[in-house]
Amino acid sequence: MRLSASSVILIKGIACMLACVFVTALAGAATKHIATAVPVTTIVCAQYLICLLLQAPIIFRSGFSMLVTEHKFTHLIRSLGGWLCFLCYYLAIDHVPLVDAALLRSASPLCVPVVIWLMMRRSIPAAQWLPLIVGFVGVGLILKPDTGTISIWHLVGFLSAVFLAVSMVYTRKLTFTEPGQRILFYYFLVSFVCSLPLMMLGWRSFDWSWFPYLLFIGISIYIALWLYTKAYLYAEASVVSPFSYFGVIFAGFFGWLFWGHIPDGSSLAGIALVICGGILTVVIRESRSSAEDQSKVV
């Protein structure tokens, strides 16, 4: 049975998203492995330096005119959101199970409507409230550790989702006028510039035998971002976004394999609720966007 051209493109989009979250989970596992020996601020700075060096030749080939933009402030907000997302994510990874940190970061679709409401003054449609409530109840279950009190590092992990949502909203805004390579270059540049002073302030010497891990993390994140872009190029967000939650499964597998972390009943229930809420939020948002586009055509 031969697949249609549209089916092949759809499969490519799903495959790119699955590969993206797998590579990101690998980078997260590598970060958790070295975080006790290498400061998180050093890991983040090295990551963005490597990404910037990999992106620079593309910009040089395209010419410096590629860097001309009228949306400097939007680039800045998008870049700061992405940078703070990874900073909070890696800080959380160093203190909580990998699957918890990955799940809390994956709660970003739940935060998108709230970010749009707060930063762009757009109301949240009534249909989105139920999945938001369901998802945030799940986040609450994840935030509640065995001691019965909220862990500060779980909250830091959730902040990574908030900042990722900011990055997602402003990336979407930039895509209407800016090429993807320019968006990535400014993201890597701003993130590296912000990371450098933090690395210097928190500098701690470490064994350079860890350098291959730093190289692996930087290259992995660059590849993951490339795959992420390809996934949304091939298919609609409502189709590929739900597959991003496989990252939680991959992170859970690596957490069990390397550190013996097994989520308890409360965490498993939270995972289920966050995934359900996130998928419903994306589907409702995409359906609403499609309806608005159709009304404009009519």
pLDDT at 87: 96
Average pLDDT of the chain is 84
pLDDT of 176 over the 50 cut: yes
For residue 63, report the phi and psi dihedrals to the nearest 5 degrees: 95, 150
Q: Which two three-digit tokens encode residue 195?
A: 């990371």
Other Cβ atoms less than 10 A from the Cβ of 157: the count is 28
C-alpha 46/C-alpha 215 separation (Å) is 8
pLDDT tens profile 181-218:
899 999 999 999 999 999 999 898 889 899 999 999 99
Q: What is the DSSP letter of 260?
A: -
pLDDT at 288: 62
The percent of the chain in helix, strand and coil, each rounded to the nearest 5, is 85, 0, 15
Please give the model's pTM, rounded to 2 decimal places.
0.84
Q: Which of 10, 7, 8 is nearest to 231 (CA)?
A: 10
- Domain layout of the chain by residue ranges: 5-297
pLDDT of 297 over the 50 cut: no
C-alpha 142/C-alpha 251 separation (Å) is 15
C-alpha 145/C-alpha 94 separation (Å) is 16
C-alpha 113/C-alpha 281 separation (Å) is 9
93 confidence band (pLDDT: 50, 70, 90): very high
Query: When comparing pLDDT for 248 and 201, which is higher?
Result: 201
The predicted model gives 286-296 an average pLDDT of 53
pLDDT of 159 over the 60 cut: yes
User: Rg of the chain's alpha carbons, rounded to an integer?
Assistant: 19
